Amino acid sequence: MKLFDGGRAPNPRRVRVFLAEKGISVPLVPVDMGAMEHRGEAVRARNPLQRLPVLELDDGTILTESVAICRYFEELHPEPALFGQGALGKARVEMWQRRMELNFMASVAHAFRHVHPAMKEWEVPQIPQWGEANKPKAVEFLRFLDTELAEREFVAGDAYSIADITGLIAVDFMKPARIKVPEDCANVLRWYQAVSSRPSAAA
């Protein structure tokens, strides 16, 4: 088994944080995305979409998409449960994971990919107006999340989950996207301090 990894890129990092929380070690194959190695044959042969991460199992089976890879490891190593416990707990984690990914992380990614000069050759066409339009969307979602976090410790409930991992990565991604967490979002800032201080956040 080996994991084709993209360094500090958000989606590869999500899997590494997840594995660190589980205490699972998987051999990494570093891929230099800055040098466009993810568009090379080694990745293309395994994922025609030329995206990372890519998990290759011992029998040659390929898994892509960060959350799908995390689900695979969750099934192999159920504890600690990062996709929730019980029917309701799992549904709540799924609900919040989707919200964090589609309403928050995606907006931050659009802002970064369509505004940052380093992405000009990656995002074709790069549409700065679309990037700028997504910045307030990310902030609006954080204000919504702030009201939710007034009632609980973590995004999806009282236990840390993949929804927190996605949120952590998205907040960190705000810096290169040139978006700031509003200072009055005290609950978000409290939550972020807690999740970013976990040892897994350094993975």
pLDDT in tens, the chain (203 residues): 999 999 999 999 999 999 999 999 999 999 999 898 999 999 999 999 999 999 999 999 999 999 999 999 999 999 999 999 999 999 999 999 999 999 999 999 999 999 998 888 888 999 999 999 999 999 999 999 999 999 999 999 999 999 999 999 999 999 999 999 999 999 999 999 999 999 999 99
Residues 69 and 98 in one domain: no
Domain ranges, residue 48:
2-76
Closest C-alpha among 50, 2, 61 to residue 29: 2
pLDDT at 53: 98
Question: Does one domain contain both 95 and 26?
Answer: no
- Is the same domain home to 132 and 114? yes
pLDDT at 122: 84
43: CATH: 3.40.30.10
